[in-house]
Amino acid sequence: MHERNSVADLAGILRGELNRYSAGEKLPSSRALVERFHVSPVTVSRALATLAAEGLVVTRPGAGAFRAEPRTAPARPGDTSWQQVALSADTGDEAVPRSVDASCVLASLAAPPPGVIELSGGYLHPALQPERALGAALGRAGRRPGAWERPPLEGVGELRAWFAREIGGPAGTVAPSGVLITAGGQSALTTALRALAPPGAPVLVESPTYPGMLAAARASGLRPVPVPVDGHGVRTDLLAEAFRASGARVFVCQPLFQNPTGAVLADDRRREVLRVARAAGAFVIEDDFARRLVHEGAPPLPPTLASEDPDGVVVHVCSLTKFTSPSLRVGALAARGPVLDRLRAIQVVDTFFVPRPLQEAALELVGSPAWPRHRRTVAAELRSRREVLLAGLGRELPALNAEFAPPGGFHVWTRLPDGTDEGALAAAALRAGVAVNPGRPFYSAEPPAPHLRLCFAGAAGTAELTEGVRRLRAAYEGTDAGPSGA
C-alpha cells in the first residue's frame, strides 16, 4: 500500500479496526502488519506507539500489542461541604471550640524552599545528626531477640531505667517504675495536658513559650494563661498571682534553655516554683527538651525539677528527638502518685505503645560509644554556631537586640525596635532567601514587643549562618516593616 505507507495513515487504519478486538485481545503481530500493508517495521512500530499514546493500545515488549481496556468515565467530584456543618455543630454546652489550629506547628515542621537558609527550624541539621550511629543502632536492634514482639505498655524496661537515671540524676530519685516511654516530646506534652486539666480549664504557661505546646493545649480545650519570663526564667512573683487569679491547677515550664528565650531558671526560682505550685494544689509540667543541647563551656547543669520533688508536683517530659533526629520519636514521661496511672491510661488509649524496634534502637544508641562522641560534637558545634550568629547580628544588625547568649539550646531571641512589623519582616526575609520565626506565635496573649527567633542549628554551617544574617539585613533595610515605615 504505497499510497498508505505513512505512520499517520497506518495508525488511522488500525484505529478504525480496533472494534474487531475485545479489550485485552492481542492485535496482529508486527510482522503480519508489515506483510499486509507493505510498510517497514519502523512504520508499524511508530503507528502502534501513536495508538498507545492515545490509550487505545497497550504494547508489551516480547509479547506484542493488545487492545487497551476501555476508559472509564471520571468519577463525579464529591461534595464535602456538609462537613462544615458536622464539624461545627454543637449542643450548646461545649466549653471550648472544636476546631484545631495547627498552623504554628505546620510552619515549624515545613522545610524551607530550595536555596533558602533555614534560621527557623527546631532540629539539628542533617550534618549534625548521628546518622551512621542511628543506622547501626537500628540494625543491631532489629536483630535483638524479641525485638519485633509487642513491648510492655509502659515501655521496654531497660530504656525506662535509662531515662530514670537521666531524670533522677546521681541520687537516683526517679524510679524506672515511674517512667513511661512516649512517641517523642510532643506526644508526652499532649498526654500530660489531657491528664491534668479538663476541657475548658485554664493552664499557666510561660510567656513567651513553645508554640507547639500552646497548640496542644488549645487542641485539648484548655485556656493558656501567660506568666512572663525574664532572663532568669519565669517570674515566680507573678506565678503565684496567676494561680490565685485564674484558679489554674497546671503550670507548663521549660526550666532549662527555655524556648524561645534560652533562659535558665534561677536556683531561688526553682524552689519557688515548686513551693507555689504545691501551695496551689497544682501540677508543674517540666518540659526538659534541651538538657542534652548544652553548649561547650557552659556552667554545670542544674538537676531536673522532678529530681527535687518528692511530693509528685512535677510531671517530667523529655525526649531524644531534638538531640538526634526528627524521626527518632522516643521520649519519656515521669511522675509520682496516682497521676501516673492516668498518664498511662491516656497513652494506651491514644497510641497503645511505642514500636519496640524504635525503643530497642534508642537503647542501642544511648549505650554505644558513639553516644558520648555525639554529645561532645554537638556541644562544640552549637557553641561555635551561637557565637557566629551573635557576632553576625552585632556586626550586621545592631538594631536587633540579642543581649543574652544562651548556654544551651538552638535559638537566639531577638527584640526588634518598637513599631517593627515582625510578620512583614519575616516575609521579606523569606523573599531574600532566609527563613526566620516571627515572635507573635510564641505568645498566648498580646506580645509586649516585636521579636524574631533565630535558630542556629538548622543551617548547614557557620558560613551559611553568616550569609543568613546578611540576607536578613538586606530584608530589614529593604522593607517598610521597620519602625520608620510603620
Domain ranges of the chain: 2-67, 131-368, 371-485
pLDDT of 169 reads 87
Phi then psi dihedrals of residue 376, to 5 deg:
-65, -40
Pairing verdict, β 250-253 and 233-234: unpaired
Can you tell me the distance from the alpha carbon of 42 to that of 456, in angstroms, rounded to the nearest whole number? 61
pLDDT at residue 229, as a whole number: 94
Identity (one letter) of the amino acid at 359? Q
- CA-to-CA distance for 97 and 93, rounded, in angstroms? 11
- In the chain (486 residues long), the average pLDDT of successive 10-residue segments reads 65 89 89 89 88 88 85 68 62 62 74 88 91 92 87 93 93 91 93 92 94 92 93 93 93 96 94 93 94 94 93 93 92 92 92 91 94 95 96 93 89 94 93 93 91 93 94 87 52
CATH of 131-368, one of 3.80.10.10, 3.40.50.300, 3.40.640.10, 3.20.20.60: 3.40.640.10
pLDDT at res. 3: 41
Are β-strands 202-207 and 179-182 bridged in parallel, bridged antiparallel, or unpaired? unpaired
Cα–Cα–Cα angle for 138, 144, 148, rounded to 5 degrees: 80
C-alpha cell at 183: 512517641
State how far the Cα of 60 lies from the Cα of 27, in Å rounded to an integer. Answer: 12
Q: Are 420 and 450 in contact (CB under 8 A)?
A: yes
pLDDT of 102 = 74
Predicted local confidence at residue 486, as pLDDT: 42
Pairs from 160-164 (Cβ < 8 Å, separation ≥ 24): 160/332, 162/363, 162/366, 162/367, 163/318, 163/332, 163/334, 164/334
CB 192 within 8 A of CB 286: no
Phi and psi at 374, nearest 5°, equal -65, -40
Whole-number pLDDT of residue 59: 87
Tell me the CATH architecture of domain 2-67: Orthogonal Bundle (1.10)
Query: Which strands make up the sheet holding 331-334, listed edge to edge?
Result: 179-182, 331-334, 314-319, 283-287, 250-253, 202-207, 223-230, 233-234
Contact 133, 365 (CB under 8 A): yes
What is the maximal distance between C-alpha atoms in the chain?
102
**Which CATH superfamily hosts domain 371-485?**
Aspartate Aminotransferase, domain 1 (3.90.1150.10)
Name the pairing type of β-strands 451-455 and 411-415.
Answer: antiparallel
